[in-house]
Structure 1
Amino acid sequence: MRAVGLVPCAVGGTAIKEWARGEELYENMVRRAKESVKDGGEIKGLLWFQGESDTSTQIEANAYRGNMEKLIENVREDLGLPSLPIIQVAIASGLDDNYMEKVREAQLNINLPNVACVDAKGLDLNEDHLHLTTESQVKLGNMLADAYLKHFAASP
């Protein structure tokens, strides 16, 4: 069995524009990813669960798809992995229900090679109606693993 490592780069409450190339969050993510493979490791995929903060205005919600597609293009280029598998989570909640569906629509309809989407809608939320319960986080983790194995794992 091979070891699998994760390189967590999450920062809560951030909008997609804060993950643009040149921004601190993006540059830290790329730096950490490169550091993780310097001793012979291999990056096998990117898991992306973000978007609740982009539901606060119509402008941000409308810009989400283009911003996400640009992020995918940039991260693949900066890591030298043009076909890097990416699994995005379609959000289950948002700051403003009026724009949540617009962001979800963007997430569910990204049409780039080697990009899959897992839908978190319907998973249980905490009392804050924004964050997933612990049980739902575990369920989502299993959904992400299943999606990776279905879409990106090499056949035996």
Structure 2
Amino acid sequence: MLHSLPRTSLFALLLLSYVVAPSLAEEVKVPKKENFHLFLLIGQSNMAGRGKVTPDDQIENPKVLMFNKEGQWGPAVDPMHFDKPKMVGVGLGRTFGLEVSKANPEVTIGLIPCAVGGSPIASWNPGARDKATNTHPYDDAMKRAKAALQAGELKGILWHQGESDSGKGKSEIYQQKLTELIARVRKELDAEDVPFIIGQLGQFEENPWNDAKRQVDQAHQAIAKSDSNSAFVSSEGLTHKGDKVHFNAESYREFGRRYAKAYMDLQSKSGDQ
């Protein structure tokens, strides 16, 4: 039948199948809204993930989904983020989702990846642009989160950021900036009590902390202590992948398990299962 079509029509049909079919194949059926628990993943490269991807990292689990770049729900497989396609890899998000799913088998977990490598906290202000990626981290994240929330309920926000603010003139105001960001995100997403999980910066012997990085760490810990709906996740014992900046794949997976435990501990304290 295809041979009977004019050459231009045949070309158009083939092009349409190439463009449309892959995106349709990625779509999955999502559960009822109350059974679809969503988590927003924001920050810079150590949230996006830079670990080496293995076949195991791409095994699909129908109970753990991700909101992809095209704004569709699909299986949560690494790499999840798309901030810097040539660099992105294994992160902490997928393991976090798998761990929370194991503890809550009656629901489906939905991950919303929005991290941007190299982004300072200033670029997480409304209207701010990240020059390196030519994106608007905060605005883009809010747009994606609101689209994803049409299908589910926001249950947590995962944050890992601070390396780009570990310098003079930035670290001194970091606690104030992060406190404002947390309040802004919760308000905009109508989630005033949603847990906010903060991961510690990498502690690598080959790249010792300066005073500015210690100040960012103190800010992370202080916010978690002062906000009953926040938690701090230690990076103790985790290792880098050789660049002294990014965790290796196994450390990201362990970090994901620690984030999941911190989240579930908060849930246990609040009685919200």
Matched residue SS, 1:31: helix
Separation in 1 of the partners of 2:236 and 2:222?
Answer: 15
Separation in 2 of the partners of 1:155 and 1:13?
Answer: 35
Encode CA deviations 1:126-153: one digit per residue, 9 max, x unaligned. 2111100111000000000111111125
Matched residue SS, 1:6: strand
TM-score (norm 2): 0.53
Q: Which of 219, 230, 238 matches 1:123?
A: 238
Q: How does 1:3-152 map to 2 (within 5 A)?
A: 3-23=108-128, 24-39=136-151, 41-55=152-166, 57-93=167-203, 97-98=209-210, 99-110=212-223, 111-152=226-267
| Alignment-derived partner of residue 92 in structure 2 | none
Higher strand share: 2
One-letter code of the match for 1:97?
W
| Kept in 2: contact 1:92–1:122 (CA 8 A) | no
* Per-residue deviation, 1:21: 2.6
Matched residue SS, 2:202: coil
Count of matched residue positions in the alignment of Structure 1 and Structure 2? 154
| Kept in 2: contact 1:64–1:106 (CA 8 A) | yes
Which has the greater radius of gyration? 2
* Per-residue deviation, 1:63: 1.2
Separation in 1 of the partners of 2:272 and 2:115?
Answer: 30
Q: Which moved more, 1:58-67 or 1:15-24?
A: 15-24
Separation in 2 of the partners of 1:93 and 1:19?
Answer: 24
TM-score (norm 1): 0.91
Structure 2 unaligned blocks of 5 or more? 1-105, 129-135
Encode CA deviations 1:91-127: one digit per residue, 9 max, x unaligned. 1159883221111111111122311110114311121
107 and 50 in structure 1: CA distance in 2 versus 1, 3 angstrom threshold:
same
| Kept in 2: contact 1:83–1:113 (CA 8 A) | no
| Kept in 1: contact 2:221–2:232 (CA 8 A) | yes
One-letter code of the match for 2:137?
L
| Kept in 2: contact 1:21–1:27 (CA 8 A) | yes
One-letter code of the match for 2:174?
Y
Separation in 2 of the partners of 1:35 and 1:21?
Answer: 17
Q: Percent identity?
A: 33
Separation in 2 of the partners of 1:2 and 1:68?
Answer: 31
Separation in 1 of the partners of 2:230 and 2:245?
Answer: 25
